[in-house]
Amino acid sequence: MNCSLCERVNLTAEGKYPFLIHEFPHSYLMLGEHQFFRGYCVLVSKSHHKEMTDMPSKVQAEMFQEMMKVSAVLQKHFQPAKMNMCSLGNVVPHVHWHFFPRYSNDPQFKDPPWLRMNEFEKAKVTQEEVRELIEILRPYF
């Protein structure tokens, strides 16, 4: 199977993906490769499922708790005006959740974060930012 998130999960398990923040029982929390919205992270299921409803119900419930922990930590640290969480998977159909902290100074605060996706590339993180943000976030878990 050719799935870019399975590949990323495997790299992470081998310690070769430098964006890992935290390993949960069912998922990996990864720093977003861009920080257009500061604090952007992605939570990726360790196992390949197209839909969350394809997971055993116990795993669904436990992964939901993992999502809640991520949201709570990002709120605590970044103090956003609102957390945006989205799971789409139209591009990569492997369960993952995007966590976008949204701030009150965002001129398009009421719009979905994806409307700015053409600008994400401009906010690609540097290795220094990766180290800094991971160091800040890890102790919360």
Interacting residues toward Zn ion by CB under 5 A: 3, 5-6, 48, 94
CB 72 within 8 A of CB 58: no
Helices (H) and strands (E) in the chain, counts: 4, 5
Kindly state the smallest distance separating residue 8's Cβ from Zn ion, in Å. Answer: 9
Kindly state the smallest distance separating residue 135's Cβ from Zn ion, in Å. Answer: 29
Which is nearer to Zn ion, 26 or 94 (by Cβ)? 94
Kindly state the smallest distance separating residue 62's Cβ from Zn ion, in Å. Answer: 19
Kindly state the smallest distance separating residue 94's Cβ from Zn ion, in Å. Answer: 3
Which is nearer to Zn ion, 19 or 78 (by Cβ)? 19
Which is nearer to Zn ion, 19 or 37 (by Cβ)? 19
In a 10 Å sphere around its CB, with 0-12 CB exposed, 13-18 middle and 19+ buried, how is residue 1 labelled? exposed
Which is nearer to Zn ion, 42 or 137 (by Cβ)? 42
CB 48 within 8 A of CB 58: no
What does DSSP assign to residue 33?
A: S
Q: Please provide residue 85's backbone torsions phi and psi, each rounded to the nearest 5 degrees.
A: -120, 130
